[in-house]
């Protein structure tokens, strides 16, 4: 029986359910006593506790130190997006621990039925453009939580969500390197302290009262002439509704519009299974997917994006 260690029991609880549905044994770690994990931390875990794989589901800034504690217990470490602080950190870790397979969570990349359908349509008709939209009109993340503190979240809610969108584009194209041509990667802090939010711990605000947290992000590139846009935003005024959609414009003039919604548990199961079974050879091909995502995330520069977001929506 396979054994998986789950570190952090927020979204980690979902991993526990998924791993159990795969028939795996789970070992859990979380300092919050209310969550009744098997261990409060990795330092107090006996040395002889080993596992086939570990998944790190803790706040972003804790991912790398936790991964370093795990290397003596497992040779497969899955890290929740957006990975480590930078691509440099990620590659340094891979160089230091060459026997460990390091994976970034890309659950949306394993939404097999819809991706197969999209790829089949692209094979039949050709594709002009791919647009992955994750735009929340009103939603506010937990005020004052690590998610809304830039240095703890490595940017903020929009850049933090970008790996999902980028991995979907990679999966549709079956191409890790979606930076082959010039690309635009911009994010912006637009959310102002106003009557909606009273908690002044909601990130640090600059003198204009704008939160120091990236809440709108836009990525655009061309891959072999195909336009690829990824847009994530947490609060956008003047739009009619939320967009959690994938738009695939085919060369026959038809646009496939898929409403993504929350990622189903089957996708998490398919991802864990694929990572657990990945051969050394396949891993060498796989590595580029995570490195490209890290490279793009590192490249985001602060610049207004609202017009780009509105244009992207208007075209639909």
Cβ 66 to ligand NAD shortest distance, Å:
6
Separation between Cα atoms, residue 210 and residue 194, nearest integer Å: 10
Element (H, E) at 172: helix 157-173
Identity of the residue, 127 or 219, whose beta carbon is nearer to ligand NAD in the bound complex = 219
- By the 10 Å C-beta count (0-12 exposed, 13-18 middle, 19+ buried), 73 is classed as middle
Is residue 54 a contact partner of residue 70, using CB atoms and an 8 Å limit? yes
Cβ 296 to ligand NAD shortest distance, Å:
16
Element (H, E) at 115: helix 112-125
Among 4, 9, 217, 313, binds ligand NAD (CB under 6 A): 9
* CA geometry: angle 155, 86, 59, nearest 5 deg: 55
Site for ligand NAD in 92-121 (CB under 6 A): 105, 107
Is residue 221 a contact partner of residue 184, using CB atoms and an 8 Å limit? yes
Site for ligand NAD in 24-83 (CB under 6 A): 29-32, 35, 41, 57-60, 62, 66, 80-81
Cβ 126 to ligand NAD shortest distance, Å:
31
Cβ 174 to ligand NAD shortest distance, Å:
21
CA torsion angle for 278, 166, 152, 264 (degrees, to 10)?
-70
Cβ 307 to ligand NAD shortest distance, Å:
28
Site string for ligand NAD, 165-204 (x = CB under 6 A): ----------------------------------------
- Rounded to whole angstroms, what are the CA distances from 246 to 134, 224, 309? 9, 19, 14
305 in contact with ligand NAD (CB under 6 A): no
Binding residues (CB under 6 A) for ligand NAD: these are 7-11, 29-32, 35, 41, 57-60, 62, 66, 80-81, 105, 107, 160, 263
């Amino acid at each position: 029986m396979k054994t998986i260690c789950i570190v952090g029991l927020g979204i980690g609880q979902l991993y526990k359910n998924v791993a159990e549905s795969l028939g795996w044994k789970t070992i859990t770690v979380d300092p919050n006593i209310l969550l009744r994990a098997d261990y409060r931390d990795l330092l107090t875990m006996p040395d002889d506790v080993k596992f086939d794989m570990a998944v790190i589901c803790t706040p972003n800034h804790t991912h790398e130190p936790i991964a370093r504690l795990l290397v003596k217990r497992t040779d497969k470490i899955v890290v929740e997006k957006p990975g480590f602080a930078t691509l440099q950190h990620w590659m340094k870790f891979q160089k230091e621990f060459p026997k460990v397979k390091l994976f970034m969570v890309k659950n949306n990349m394993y939404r097999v039925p819809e991706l197969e359908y999209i790829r089949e349509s692209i094979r039949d008709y050709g594709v002009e453009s791919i647009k992955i939209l994750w735009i929340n009109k009103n939603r506010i993340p937990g005020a004052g939580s690590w998610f809304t503190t830039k240095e703890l979240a490595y940017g903020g809610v929009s850049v933090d969500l970008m790996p999902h969108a980028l991995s979907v584009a990679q999966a549709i194209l079956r191409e890790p390197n979606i930076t082959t041509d010039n690309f635009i990667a911009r994010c912006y802090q637009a959310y102002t302290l106003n009557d909606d939010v009273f908690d002044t711990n909601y990130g640090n605000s600059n003198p204009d009262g704008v939160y120091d947290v990236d809440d709108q992000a836009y990525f655009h590139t061309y891959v072999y002439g195909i336009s690829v846009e990824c847009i994530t935003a947490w609060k956008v005024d003047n739009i009619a509704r939320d967009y959690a959609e994938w738009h695939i414009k085919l060369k026959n003039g038809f646009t496939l519009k898929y409403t993504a919604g929350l990622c189903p548990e089957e996708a998490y199961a398919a991802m864990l299974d694929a990572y657990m079974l990945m051969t050394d050879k396949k891993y060498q091909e796989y590595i580029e997917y995570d490195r490209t995502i890290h490279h793009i995330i590192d490249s985001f520069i602060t610049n207004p994006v609202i017009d780009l977001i509105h244009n992207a929506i208007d075209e639909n």
